[in-house]
């Protein structure tokens, strides 16, 4: 382990941490010594597996059932994290959903849920966490390179939700800078997960848009989160950082 990444004594909350990128983030932060709480909405078995993996690394971990579309549940997850660990130093807003449908057929209820999960929940979690976060804390949103570039039809609402995080982060960086709290977006491109496998139906098309002809891994994104959580990244804030194999190049 690189000692410059050590997060011993830190307390983290990862939303949507039961599988894919979220589970990889939970495990990486735990490997760096942080206590990690995670939220899940529909995968209790996978959530328990992520918690066990974190505990096996010698840290405290807890799974919290919370639908990110419910503001009370999001706030409750922050409060539960603080109650379990005694504070919160790192907030990773990873929970997100996507619906790709041509705009003329897009249902308003899907529009509302995307904004509720991808945008409102991020704001609610940040607002709740700031009541407990110590100076020098870290807020990291998992956005998407589609916030900059959406090269396929049907993704307009998803792209809008991810681009909204850019304005939020830039404004928050000004608000929170005096406290030494950094706030940044990580913007992944195609990442090999269950929902978007590297051998899936979209892979051949997406790989054509990449400078590096492969999907990324959840562990690579998790490593980026660990860096932004570390003391070494203390001068990075208000940034939108791509990890996309050159998708937006």
The domain total for the chain is: 1
- The answer to the question of residue 96 being in a domain is yes
Parallel/antiparallel/unpaired status of strands 88-93 and 11-14:
parallel
In the three-class reduction of DSSP (H, G, I as helix; E, B as strand; rest coil), residue 63 is classed as strand
- The answer to the question of residue 248 being in a domain is no
- Sheet containing strand 61-65, edge to edge, reads 61-65, 35-40, 11-14, 88-93, 133-142, 182-188, 240-243
Q: Are 189 and 195 in contact (CB under 8 A)?
A: no
* pLDDT at 1 (0 to 100): 44
Residues annotated as catalytic (active site), given as ranges: 158
Full residue range of the structural domain in which residue 88 is found: 3-243
- The answer to the question of residue 226 being in a domain is yes
Q: Are 129 and 79 in contact (CB under 8 A)?
A: no
- The answer to the question of residue 249 being in a domain is no
Longest dimension (CA), the chain: 52
Nearest of 75, 118, 90 to residue 64 by alpha carbon: 75
Q: Are 125 and 172 in contact (CB under 8 A)?
A: no
Q: How many helices (H) and strands (E) does the chain have?
A: 8, 9
- The answer to the question of residue 106 being in a domain is yes
Asked whether the whole model's pTM tops 0.75, one would answer: yes
Q: For residue 170, with 0-12 CB atoms within 10 Å meaning exposed, 13-18 middle and 19 or more buried, which class applies?
A: middle
CATH at residue 211:
3.40.50.720
- The answer to the question of residue 53 being in a domain is yes
b/e code 41-70 from CB counts within 10 Å (16+ = b): bebeebbeebbebbeebebbbbbbebbbbb
State how far the alpha carbon of 219 is from the alpha carbons of 3, 43, 105, 127, 247, in Å.
Answer: 18, 20, 36, 28, 18
- The answer to the question of residue 165 being in a domain is yes
For residue 50, how many C-alpha atoms fall within 13 Å in the half-sphere facing its CB? 31
The residues, any chain, with a CB within 8 Å of residue 30's CB and separated by 6 or more, are 36, 53, 54, 55, 57, 59, 61
For residue 69, how many C-alpha atoms fall within 13 Å in the half-sphere facing its CB? 10
Per the listing, tokens 């999001």 go with 74
Per-residue pLDDT for the chain (249 aa), expressed as one digit of tens each?
444 458 999 999 999 999 999 999 999 999 999 999 999 999 899 999 999 999 999 999 999 999 999 999 999 999 999 999 999 999 999 999 999 999 999 999 999 999 999 999 999 999 999 999 999 999 999 999 999 998 888 999 999 999 999 999 999 999 999 999 999 999 999 999 988 899 877 788 889 889 999 999 999 999 999 999 999 999 999 999 999 999 998
List alpha helices for 71-120, DSSP H.
71-85, 108-115
- The answer to the question of residue 203 being in a domain is yes
* pLDDT at 2 (0 to 100): 47
């Amino acid at each position: 382990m690189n000692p410059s990444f050590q997060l011993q004594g830190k307390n983290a909350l990862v939303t949507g941490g039961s599988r894919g990128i979220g589970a990889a983030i939970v495990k990486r932060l735990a490997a760096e010594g942080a206590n990690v709480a995670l939220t899940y909405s529909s995968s209790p078995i996978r959530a328990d597996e992520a918690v066990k993996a974190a505990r096996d690394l010698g840290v405290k971990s807890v799974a919290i059932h919370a639908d990110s579309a419910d503001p009370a549940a999001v706030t409750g997850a922050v409060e539960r994290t603080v109650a379990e660990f005694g504070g919160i130093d790192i907030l990773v807003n990873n929970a997100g959903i996507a619906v790709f449908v041509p705009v003329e057929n897009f249902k308003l209820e899907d529009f509302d849920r995307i904004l509720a999960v991808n945008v409102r929940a991020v704001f609610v979690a940040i607002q709740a966490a700031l009541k407990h976060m110590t100076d020098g804390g870290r807020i990291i949103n998992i956005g998407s390179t589609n916030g900059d570039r959406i090269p396929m039809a049907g993704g307009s609402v998803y792209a809008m939700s991810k681009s909204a995080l850019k304005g939020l982060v830039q404004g928050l960086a000004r608000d929170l800078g005096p406290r030494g709290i950094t706030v940044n977006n990580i913007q992944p491109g195609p990442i090999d997960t269950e929902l978007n496998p590297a051998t899936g139906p979209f892979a051949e098309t997406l790989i054509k848009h990449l400078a590096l002809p492969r999907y990324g891994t959840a562990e690579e994104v998790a490593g980026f989160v660990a860096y932004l959580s570390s003391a070494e990244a203390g001068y990075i804030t208000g940034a939108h950082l791509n990890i996309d194999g050159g998708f937006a190049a």
